[in-house]
């Protein structure tokens, strides 16, 4: 592998270890502790109220919808949903209105779970906890960082928006796996309606902890936490850059220092923000303005019963129904086409052809509206020889864009299946009219096959099935 600067590390000698912390904004109507609206965008400082601004005398009241979404995510990630409490994380920063963040520390709502990647790899989840988001600072002038800015503006619309911080275990072993983890997590969050998953709007933010170690060893290396990773692409690049940097350091006889580092998209490097020693002492203590939250079995079971079938289970279901490899079902499930495929297979369509169409010919969003029976008929027409692969693809495209039955569309396009006896006559006429070519074919020149197939196609204006023509030619040998 190599990083952005082209440096490479030897993956036979080194192993990359990654643990991800994903902050997901929950799609609640209001903020985590107040009735101010939770909405992205909007004029600065319009979705605010006394608590959002940390005004004296304001008090937090927990948003039940946020708890419900946290329970959904917890169950979807196979976590134990437990009685939990909030703590204060104290630090001074202008975009933190109370100069403390209400978060969960000792007792998070979701404890110990896992998620399964499309290839079947299982990644551990340590915990998921609720906390409030901060406002957004914009530093004007200087380098866009607070220290050399001319002045700063703060928008508190985001302050108090509910976040679920999902802390993954250091089970990830490559940049690609990290990307797969985030994609999978995003699918789960969206499936349970917890988040819109928009990384570009900051609905999902990823911090990655990266360390390296000699392959074959089990002890974890010293990690660096990389912040400001705003897309899947930069996540991959940041991990690769950071791994190379650390291997280079170790190879040069240096020690990796535990640091928080900032990913810079422009230069493709990570830069030191602060060392472990410079880290804030957050002086956590139990939030006295809130009481313990005990969701209780009844609530948890009600949420569990209402959960949709999750991506991993859908992949397994489709793989089992189709006999197609698990990893190949991922894209179909991601597009939400698994129900369609299952119904089509159920209606007798060939499973492999069904999935092949879903993977290659159904990227259009309108595919979700396809009638499963019609889709099954199309696949059966193709496997039954009534349509060629090319024709089937065209008919399917028409079905997606304007609806209609495959038989009607095929007829309208003139894709009538050739009668074999008619085709036999054409083939025999062709053999008779091309004795030299036929002789070469008989002598084993397989390239001449193409000539014959092409001539038949020309004579039938493309209506003949190539496979049938080949079969006929071989039978005349």
Partner 1 sequence: MTSKPGTYPTAIDIAVSVRSGERTASEVLEDHLARIGSSDAEIHAFNHVMVDEARSTAEAVDSAVEAGENPGPLAGVPVALKDNMCTRAVPTTCSSRILEGWKPPYDATVVQRLGVAGAVVIGKTNMDEFAMGSSTENSAFGPTRNPRDTSRVPGGSSGGSAAAVAAGFVPISLGSDTGGSIRQPAALCGVVGVKPTYGAVSRLGLIAFASSLDQIGPFANTVADAAVLLEVIAGHDPGDSTSIDEPFAELSPHLDDGVVGTRIGLITEMMGEGIDADVAARTREAADALEAAGATVEEVSIPAVTYGLSAYYLVAPAEASSNLARYDGVRYGNRVEGNTTDEMMFATRTQGFGDEVKRRIMLGAYALSAGYYDAFYGKALKVRTLIRADFQVAYEKFDVLLSPTSPSTAFPFGDKTSDPMAMYLNDVCTIPTNLAGHPAISVPFGAGDDGLPIGVQVLAPPRGEQQMFTTAAVLESAAPGDAE
Stretch in the footprint of partner 1 (CB under 8 A) among 48-56, 226-234, 348-356, 423-431:
48-56
CB of 148 to partner 1, least distance (A): 10
147 vs 461, which CB is nearer to partner 1? 147
Among 13, 29, 59, 198, the residue binding partner 1 under the rule CB under 8 A is 59
CB of 97 to partner 1, least distance (A): 7
56 vs 450, which CB is nearer to partner 1? 56
Contacts of 62 (CB under 8 A, 6+ apart): 32, 33, 86, 290, 293
Q: Which two tokens stand for residue 352?
A: 């492999």
3-state secondary structure the chain: CECCCCCECCCCCEEEEEEEEEEEECCCCECCCCCCECCCCCCCCCCCCCCCCCCCCCCCCCCHHHHHHHHHHHHHCCCEECCECCEEEECCCCCCCCCEEEECCCCCCEEEEEEECCCCCEEEEEEEEEEECCCEEEEECCCCCHHHCCEEEEECCCCCCEEEEEEECCCECCHHHHHHHHHHHHHHHHHCCCCCCCHHHCCEEEEEEEEEEECCCCCCCCCEEEEEECCHHHHHHHHHHHHHHHHHHHHCCCCCCCEEEEEECCCCEEEEEEEHHHCCCCCCEECCCCCCECCHHHHHHHHHHHCCCCHHHHHHHHHHHHCCCHHHHHHHHHCCCHHHHHHHHHCCCCHHHHHHHHHHCCCCHHHHHCCHHHHHHHHHHHHCCCCCHHHHHHHHHHHHHHCCCHHHHHHHCCCCCCCHHHHHHHHHHHHHHCHHHHHHHHCCCCHHHHHHHHHHHHHHCCCCCHHHHHHHHHHCC
Among 11, 40, 44, 50, the residue binding partner 1 under the rule CB under 8 A is 50
Stretch in the footprint of partner 1 (CB under 8 A) among 15-23, 207-215, 281-289, 326-334:
281-289
Residue 92 found at the interface with partner 1 (CB under 8 A): yes
Residue 62 found at the interface with partner 1 (CB under 8 A): yes
Q: At what angle do helices 372-383 and 338-346 cross, to 10 degrees?
A: 60
33 vs 452, which CB is nearer to partner 1? 33
Residue 343 found at the interface with partner 1 (CB under 8 A): no
Residue 90 found at the interface with partner 1 (CB under 8 A): yes
4 vs 291, which CB is nearer to partner 1? 291
Per-residue x/- track, 128-157, partner 1 (CB under 8 A):
------------------xx----x-x---
- Dihedral in degrees, nearest 10, Cα atoms 206, 209, 215, 217: -140
CB of 367 to partner 1, least distance (A): 47
Among 1, 37, 53, 300, the residue binding partner 1 under the rule CB under 8 A is 53
Among 17, 22, 28, 98, the residue binding partner 1 under the rule CB under 8 A is 98
Stretch in the footprint of partner 1 (CB under 8 A) among 91-99, 219-227, 241-249, 466-474:
91-99
66 vs 312, which CB is nearer to partner 1? 66
Residue 288 found at the interface with partner 1 (CB under 8 A): yes
CB of 149 to partner 1, least distance (A): 9
290 vs 331, which CB is nearer to partner 1? 290
Residue 54 found at the interface with partner 1 (CB under 8 A): yes
What phi and psi, each to the nearest 5 degrees, are found at residue 19? -125, 135
290 vs 449, which CB is nearer to partner 1? 290
CB of 138 to partner 1, least distance (A): 13
What order of strands is seen across the sheet that includes strand 100-103?
100-103, 87-90, 285-286
284 vs 451, which CB is nearer to partner 1? 284
Q: By CB under 8 A, what part of segment 383-422 binds partner 1?
A: none
144 vs 385, which CB is nearer to partner 1? 144
Per-residue x/- track, 289-328, partner 1 (CB under 8 A):
xxx-------------------------------------
Residue 160 found at the interface with partner 1 (CB under 8 A): no
| CA separation for the pair 262, 229 (Å, rounded) | 8
Stretch in the footprint of partner 1 (CB under 8 A) among 49-57, 260-268, 310-318, 358-366:
49-57
Among 6, 41, 56, 216, the residue binding partner 1 under the rule CB under 8 A is 56
CB of 277 to partner 1, least distance (A): 12
Contacts of 32 (CB under 8 A, 6+ apart): 26, 60, 62, 63, 66, 102, 130, 131, 132, 160, 161, 162, 163
Among 20, 30, 60, 127, the residue binding partner 1 under the rule CB under 8 A is 60
CB of 225 to partner 1, least distance (A): 18
User: What is the binding site for partner 1 (CB under 8 A)?
Assistant: 50, 53-62, 88, 90, 92, 94, 97-100, 146-147, 152, 154, 281, 283-285, 288-291
């Amino acid at each position: 592998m190599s990083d952005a600067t082209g440096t490479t590390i030897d993956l036979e000698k080194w192993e990359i270890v990654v643990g991800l912390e994903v902050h997901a904004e929950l799609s609640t109507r209001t903020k985590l502790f107040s009735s101010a609206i939770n909405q992205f965008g909007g004029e600065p400082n319009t979705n605010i109220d006394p608590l959002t601004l940390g005004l004296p005398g304001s008090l937090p009241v927990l948003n039940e919808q946020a708890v419900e979404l946290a329970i959904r995510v917890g169950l979807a990630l196979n976590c134990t949903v437990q009685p939990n409490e909030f703590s204060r994380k104290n630090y001074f920063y202008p975009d933190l209105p109370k100069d403390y963040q209400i978060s969960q520390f000792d007792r998070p709502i979701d404890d110990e779970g896992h998620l399964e990647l499309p290839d079947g790899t299982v990644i551990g989840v340590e915990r998921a906890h609720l906390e409030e988001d901060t406002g957004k600072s914009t530093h004007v002038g200087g380098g866009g960082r607070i220290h050399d800015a001319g002045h700063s503006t703060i928008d508190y619309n985001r302050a108090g928006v509910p976040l679920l911080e999902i802390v993954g275990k250091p089970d990830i072993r490559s940049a690609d796996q990290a990307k797969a983890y985030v994609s999978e997590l995003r699918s789960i969050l969206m499936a349970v309606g917890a988040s819109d998953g928009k990384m570009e709007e900051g609905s999902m933010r990823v911090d990655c902890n990266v360390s390296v170690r000699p392959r074959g060893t089990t002890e974890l290396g010293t990690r660096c936490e990389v912040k400001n990773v705003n897309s899947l692409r930069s996540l991959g690049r940041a991990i690769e850059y950071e791994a190379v940097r650390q291997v280079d350091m170790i190879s040069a006889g240096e020690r990796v220092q535990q640091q928080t580092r900032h990913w810079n998209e422009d230069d493709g490097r990570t830069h030191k923000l602060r060392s472990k020693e410079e880290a804030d002492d957050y002086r956590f203590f139990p939030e006295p303005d809130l009481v313990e939250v005990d969701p209780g079995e009844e609530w948890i079971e009600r949420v569990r019963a209402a959960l949709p079938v999750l991506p991993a289970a859908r992949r397994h279901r489709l793989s089992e129904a189709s006999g197609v490899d698990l990893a190949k079902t991922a894209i179909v499930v991601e597009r939400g086409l698994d129900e369609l495929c299952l119904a089509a297979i159920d209606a007798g369509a060939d499973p492999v052809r069904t999935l092949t169409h879903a993977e290659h010919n159904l990227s259009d969003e309108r595919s979700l509206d396809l009638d499963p029976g019609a889709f099954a008929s199309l696949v059966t027409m193709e496997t039954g020889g009534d349509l060629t692969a090319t024709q089937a693809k065209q008919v399917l495209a028409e079905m997606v864009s304007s609806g209609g039955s495959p038989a009607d569309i095929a007829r309208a396009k003139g894709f009538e299946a050739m009668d074999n006896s008619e085709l036999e006559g054409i083939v025999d006429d062709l053999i008779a009219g091309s004795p030299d070519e036929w002789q070469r074919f008989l002598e084993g020149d397989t390239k001449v096959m193409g000539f014959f197939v092409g001539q038949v196609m020309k004579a039938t204006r493309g209506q003949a099935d190539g496979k049938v023509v080949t079969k006929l030619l071989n039978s005349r040998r």
